[in-house]
Structure 1
Amino acid sequence: MPLVVVDPGHGGRDPGTVGNGLQEKDVTLDAALKLREALERCGIDVIMTRTEDTLILPNGTIGEDLSARAAIANRNNADLFISWHVDSFSDPGVNGVAAWIYPTTRGTETEVIAEKIVNSVAQATGQRNRGVYVADFAVLRETNMSAVLIESGFITNPQEAANLASAAFREAQAEAAARAICKYFNLPFVPPADPVDPPTEPEPIPEWAREAIARVQNAGIMIGYEDGTFRPEQYVTRAELAVVLVRFYELLQSGRTL
């Protein structure tokens, strides 16, 4: 199975960009953890550069920390490196999702996977698709494998910041990125399982109605539901009322009483 290194940008004393009550390091960590969960569900091995609010090298410089992130991917012979970030700009109207790659990887498989990811995320979230850019970022320059840096939105745009603050929105981005990565590796995407509804607690029967309910149950007129509940507060449908009336009529015809 392919190995992907997922790198949540910044952390610890380096908050990254800030705006609208958010810090980049918090948004990126949660989204990256969600990406790991999605990739592992699809059978892809994942190594995180960080799983907590810390730098890789807490006592090092920011430059050394960036190099350490790339070194993790190189040391483990990763097949793909994904660095997750949040963007900012002086104009609060600027918005959208983008991917960045190293200049010399333009026209290579790195650009292919970058396009797949940004297209998938934009389609899933409705964000503006800003496409693929090139930059001399350390985590792109110093990695030996295909490396993509995702700018998942603009923290300086009020609406996009509100979206980025939503766990559901971050999950949608992560799932979309995972879907693109699976497609790149020719693996089937496994969607998240539907949440299991908790067991329904039976509604308590009011004291004043207990005797009457017991009598209609014993007579077989209203026996409740297959799961053993009576649901005293639930409305009766026309179908249920028809059954009750027929049972009551049969009770009268039999000469029995409640």
Structure 2
Amino acid sequence: MPKLICIDPGHGGYDPGAVAQGVREKDITLKIGLQLRDLLRKAGFDVMMTRESDVSPGGYKQVAADLRERCRIANTKGADVFLSLHVNAGGGRGAELYVYDKGGPIAKLAKGVITGVSTICGTHGQAVRDGGPNGTGFAVICSTEADAMLLEIGFIDSDDLPKIQANLDKFAPLICRAFCEFYGVKETDGHTDGQEPPVPQILDRKAANLVIAQLGALTKTGTDDVLVACNYAANSLRRALSLPITETKGVPTASAAGNVIEVLGALWKCAESQDIQDAYHYAADALRGAQQN
């Protein structure tokens, strides 16, 4: 049975995380998280996310509730490994990784992750540290039932930032490589161009049709720009399942695509099954690709 990996892009929504020179931690962690999700799935892992857009899990606006929700998501689904992605602040340099005590069953995985990531910005002192109750006491490490890691890829407020920005698309492949080596599975090619979102396993036809219908319902109360975005997302699902496309309204504006992505992210959190979640994130990925064009 494939291992279930829970990826937690740190911060989001109300919480930008660390900020420097107009760059926000929450944007960096989300991009890496989405790329890592797709690479791990291509390698055969089951993957779940605590967030897939710029929202806080559960819609909370308090840190304690936000962190509890991230842990609840992983615990409810029985994740095997929980990886929380972050960017540090405080003027230091280099990456660091926190685990429970010395890492237990995933000690070698943790070492592999930090060894790969540190090729970008180096390490900040001791590379692997105790984030459990006898160490730093990170909530996402102490309160998750999965083997948990919290990764800081570097410091946003030091000369790490230009290195992070120049190599942003390299972090996910480096992390994925560590997972593949640890679990002995074939490594992916590291290609994440954002143009055609990979089908997560195989989209369920019933679930995809349900999401298509929901996108259609949004057009009845949305603006003309939202209508274009919903049509674009729905057609991406139709193409994935070789369903007929009766109307194409063009490429959505970045703003409208972002608005629909937020709606899909909120619906994703309420979904009753993985099949429906897969359809939501496939449609959202199509819109993210449109934003980049």
TM-score range relative to shorter protein: 0.5 to 0.7
Using the alignment, how far apart are the partners of 1:194 and 1:9 within structure 2? 21
Structure 1 residues without counterparts, runs of 5 or longer: 196-258
Structure 2 residues without counterparts, runs of 5 or longer: 131-135, 194-293
- Describe the superposition over 1:108-151 as per-residue Cα deviations: whole angstroms up to 9, x where unpaired: 1233221110012223x363364111221110001111100000
Mean Cα displacement is larger for which, 52-61 or 15-24?
Answer: 52-61
Structure 1 residues 24 and 126: CA distance shift in structure 2, 3 A = closer
What is the count of residue pairs matched by the alignment? 186
The answer as to 2:154 corresponding to 1:153 is yes
Question: 1:119, 1:129 within 8 Å by CA — same for their partners in 2?
Answer: no
Using the alignment, how far apart are the partners of 2:115 and 2:23 within structure 1? 25
1:57 alignment partner, SS class? helix
The answer as to 2:82 corresponding to 1:86 is no
The answer as to 2:102 corresponding to 1:106 is yes
Residue pairs, 1:203-214, within 5 angstroms: none
- Describe the superposition over 1:182-228 as per-residue Cα deviations: whole angstroms up to 9, x where unpaired: 11112121223598xxxxxxxxxxxxxxxxxxxxxxxxxxxxxxxxx
Q: Which has the higher helix share?
A: 2
**Deviation for aligned residue 1:21:** 2.0
Q: Does 1 or 2 have the higher relative contact order (CA < 8 Å, sep 6+)?
A: 1
Question: 2:35, 2:192 within 8 Å by CA — same for their partners in 1?
Answer: no
Structure 1 vs Structure 2: percent identity of aligned residues? 32
TM-score by length of 2: 0.60
1:6 alignment partner, SS class? strand
- Structure 1 residue ranges (4+ consecutive) displaced by more than 4 angstroms after TM superposition: none
Equivalent in the alignment of 1:165: 165
Residue pairs, 1:1-258, within 5 angstroms: 1-89=2-90, 92=91, 94-102=92-100, 105-106=101-102, 108-123=104-119, 125=120, 127-128=122-123, 130=125, 131-134=127-130, 135-157=136-158, 159-166=159-166, 169-192=167-190
- Describe the superposition over 1:163-197 as per-residue Cα deviations: whole angstroms up to 9, x where unpaired: 2234xx122111000000111112121223598xx
Mean Cα displacement is larger for which, 184-193 or 142-151?
Answer: 184-193
Using the alignment, how far apart are the partners of 1:79 and 1:59 within structure 2? 25
Using the alignment, how far apart are the partners of 1:33 and 1:144 within structure 2? 23
- Describe the superposition over 1:42-98 as per-residue Cα deviations: whole angstroms up to 9, x where unpaired: 111110110111101223521111111111111111111000000011xx3x21111
Using the alignment, how far apart are the partners of 1:193 and 1:174 within structure 2? 10
**Deviation for aligned residue 1:3:** 0.8
Mean Cα displacement is larger for which, 136-145 or 108-117?
Answer: 108-117
Using the alignment, how far apart are the partners of 1:147 and 1:118 within structure 2? 14
Specify the structure having the higher radius of gyration (Cα): 1
Question: 1:111, 1:132 within 8 Å by CA — same for their partners in 2?
Answer: no
Q: Which amino acid aligns with 2:108?
A: V
Question: 1:98, 1:151 within 8 Å by CA — same for their partners in 2?
Answer: yes
